[in-house]
Amino acid sequence: MLEISRKNARIWSMLGMRRVVGIMLEELAGSDEHFIFATADLGRYLGAADFEDKYPGQMIDVGIAEQNLIGVSAGMQQEGFHVFAGTYATFVTARALDQIRVNLGYMNLGVKLIGAAGGLSDGNFSPTHMALEDIADIRPIPGIAIISPADGAEVVKAMYALAEYEGPAYLRLTGRANTPVIYTEDYDFKIGKAVCLKEGTEIAFVASGTIVATVQKAAAELEKKGISCKVINMHTIKPLDTQALDELEEFKLLVTVEEHMAAGGMGSAVAEYMGAKAKRPVQQIIAAGHEYPHAGEYEILLETCGLTVDGIVKKVEGRYRELQNGR
Amino acid sequence: MKSRNELELMAKDMRRDAYKMAYNSGTKGAHLGGGMSVVEILAVLYGAIMKYDVSNPSWEERDRLIMSKGHGGISLYAALKNVGYLSQEEIDGALHGDSDYYEHPRKNIDKGIEFSGGSLGQGLSFAAGMALGLSKRSNDKSRVYVILGDGECDEGSVWEAAASVIHFGLKQITVIIDLNGLQYDGSTEHIMRLGNMRSRWESIGYDVFEVDGHDVLALQDVFRKESEKPQVVIAHTVKGKGMSFAENRVEWHTAYLTEELYRQALKELEIC
């Protein structure tokens, strides 16, 4: 087992999530002869350049053919193999969506999908390589877990957990290299169980992915202004930790933050659950919006979409003051 | 080796069961067109070619059949009943009501159904994955048969899968193309030209055989051929085969049997 330590956290942060995946693919392949890493011409990108040499016979590259990637992975899973299938987030989801419905949803085959560049991180290429609808694509399909880790350590924890998880799942990677660090020591990670990173009483933040670190900073800024904030890392978007959400009924404002279109993502999932409650906070969904952003560097895109510390503080404080004035 | 008589008798029994299933399911209609074109293919596979053990459905060395064109479900059920996977009672209630035997078959390995087909263009990828799994387990006993419709070959995903079967050297795969020449909107030639199917598959690296898809002995011979490459069997068939009023008729893709037509179909079956 890889150790969650300050030193490793620093290395994983430097590498970025997709190369942490590469390390974990080797880790899992080494302990399970039935482990298969399948990809659609994106092995090197996922840090698996040496994987095939080290674990011959445990890698399948189908070329640039995502529909086939899903079907082949599902056929192998049915024959008793444990398949992790990875490529770009938007291609591993939207491009092969009906294959995912039939093979992973309907037939319930436990293939684990890995989507690199979830959100805006490769937005310099253009919206073709942004994954801003992937959560919305997968979320309605019955039985597929969706996990969006907050940092490199959580990628490690999530992949160990997924190796033990029977059902199908989608692991969404966000951020580039030098991702922020949330966890420097071991902690309890369970699929479907959110982690409270900070207690508070007035505003509750629920976030997932590398944006969690930004949310932590935004919460600290708001605390300086005298507003008490709770921060929840909702690393599992499906199944949603409804117990954690039940504890938010008394808050004034619930803010969900994600690198995704405003429609259909984690914020929508939270709203679907909270909407049925008689007592609930007002919800503010902070996301990438409703339009495809202009191509650009990651940091610039985050800024344009208001997904920075300042952007979040401004929006949330504004809404909080309105609520204080009864609006 | 089975005799022509034995195999034709099996095909006849399957047609009788299929007509009954279609008739029992009422006026919502059943996929009789593409169902009837694969009857002999399935009769020969289940009656003479494939290895399986009804009392041990997950038997490692069984041959696997992937009905990619789930539209042939009605005939798959008839075959599975004929060999003992399904009971008469189960197929009598099929295709309607609360039966688990849907119009497009749902995966149920205990009942001999390996794959949930119907969303076209997916079965060959799945078969490739299964064959890869078999190879990695050093199982060189099992074959994987995949039945595709000719209209289904419009799907780009068929060709993604077709290339990977060759690339990975999955010579235990036999692709069977039910070339009945019709798809939902019209003839395959009119809707989306398939080109020269033989040369399309050969150019990727398959051993391609062509056969009359209703000639049981010819089918039996072709399925017994050995190759060093994955195989494609192009079966020339007739959509709606066996029912004179439905043969080669686009509107019989999905249609229902009135009592009169049901009786006529049975009568034609007894004459032939």
pLDDT given for residue A327 in this prediction: 80
Please report where in the chains the tokens 């095939």 appear, as a residue: A52
pLDDT given for residue B53 in this prediction: 98
Q: Is residue A182 part of a domain?
A: no
* Interface contact flag, B164 A72, Cβ < 8 Å: yes
Q: Which residues of A touch B136 (CB under 8 A)?
A: 57, 81
One-letter amino acid at A266 equals: M
> The CATH number of the domain where A16 resides is what?
3.40.50.970
Query: What does each C-alpha distance from A53 to A23, A35, A85, A287 come to in angstroms?
Result: 14, 15, 18, 41
| Cβ B110 vs Cβ B57: under 8 Å | yes
The answer to whether B119 contacts chain A (CB < 8 Å) is: yes
Q: Is residue A179 part of a domain?
A: no
* Tens-place pLDDT, residues A23-59: 999 999 999 999 999 999 999 999 999 999 999 999 9
pLDDT given for residue B102 in this prediction: 95
User: What total of structural domains would you count in chain B?
Assistant: 1
User: What total of structural domains would you count in chain A?
Assistant: 2
Q: Is residue A190 part of a domain?
A: no
Nearest to B132 among A76, A99, A103 (CB): A76
Q: What are phi and psi of B117, to 5 degrees?
A: -90, 175
Nearest Cα to A259, choosing from A175, A177, A157? Answer: A175
* Interface contact flag, B129 A102, Cβ < 8 Å: no
> The CATH number of the domain where A313 resides is what?
3.40.50.920
pLDDT given for residue B28 in this prediction: 87
* Tens-place pLDDT, residues A253-305: 999 999 999 999 999 999 999 999 999 999 999 999 999 999 999 999 999 99
Range of the domain at B92: 4-271
pLDDT given for residue A200 in this prediction: 98
Q: Is residue A318 part of a domain?
A: yes
Same domain, residue pair A63 and A13: yes
Same domain, residue pair A57 and A144: yes
Which of A172, A205, A220 is the last residue in one of the domains? A172
Which of A157, A172, A187 is the last residue in one of the domains? A172
* Interface contact flag, B122 A107, Cβ < 8 Å: no
Query: Which residues, in sequence order, are bridge partners of residue A170?
Result: A113, A146
* Interface contact flag, B119 A101, Cβ < 8 Å: yes
- Provide ipTM, 2 decimals: 0.96
Q: Is residue A276 part of a domain?
A: yes
Same domain, residue pair A36 and A165: yes
pLDDT given for residue B271 in this prediction: 86
Nearest to B126 among A81, A101, A103 (CB): A103
> The CATH number of the domain where B193 resides is what?
3.40.50.970
* Tens-place pLDDT, residues A198-226: 999 999 999 999 999 999 999 999 999 99
A105 Cβ contact partners less than 8 Å away, ≥ 6 residues apart: A141, A142, A143, A144, A168
Query: What does each C-alpha distance from A32 to A37, A281, B14 come to in angstroms?
Result: 12, 46, 45
Mean pLDDT value of segment A165-179: 98
Query: What does each C-alpha distance from A10 to A151, A198, B81 come to in angstroms?
Result: 10, 22, 62
The CB-side HSE value for A119 (13 A sphere, CA atoms) comes to: 29
Q: Which residues of A touch B160 (CB under 8 A)?
A: 62, 65, 67-68
pLDDT given for residue B272 in this prediction: 72
| Cβ A127 vs Cβ A216: under 8 Å | no
* Interface contact flag, B134 A79, Cβ < 8 Å: yes
Same domain, residue pair A56 and A167: yes
- Please give the full DSSP string across A189-227, using - where no structure is assigned: -BTTB-EEEE--SSEEEEE-STHHHHHHHHHHHHHHTT-
Give residue A134's pLDDT band: very low, low, confident or very high (50, 70, 90): very high
* Tens-place pLDDT, residues A57-107: 999 999 999 999 999 999 999 999 999 999 999 999 999 999 999 999 999
B69 Cβ contact partners less than 8 Å away, ≥ 6 residues apart: B34, B38, B117, B120, B123, B147, B148, B149, B152, B178
* Interface contact flag, A75 B157, Cβ < 8 Å: no
Same domain, residue pair A257 and A301: yes
Two tokens, residue A167: 């059902």
pLDDT given for residue B146 in this prediction: 98
Same domain, residue pair A23 and A127: yes
Same domain, residue pair A157 and A217: no
Torsion of the alpha carbons at B136, B137, B140 and B144, rounded to the nearest 10: -80
Q: Which helix (H) or strand (E) holds A314?
A: helix A309-324
Q: What is the pLDDT along chain B (272 residues), one digit of tens a residue?
A: 999 999 999 999 999 999 999 999 999 889 999 999 999 999 999 999 999 999 999 999 999 999 999 999 999 999 999 999 999 999 999 999 999 999 999 999 999 999 999 999 999 999 999 999 999 999 999 999 999 999 999 999 999 999 999 999 999 999 999 999 999 999 999 999 999 999 999 999 999 999 999 999 999 999 999 999 999 999 999 999 999 999 999 999 999 999 999 999 999 999 87
Q: Is residue A180 part of a domain?
A: no
Q: What does the alpha-carbon distance between residue A22 and residue A17 come to, in Å, rounded to a whole number?
A: 9
Range of the domain at A266: 195-324
Nearest to A73 among B119, B129, B131 (CB): B129
pLDDT given for residue A132 in this prediction: 98
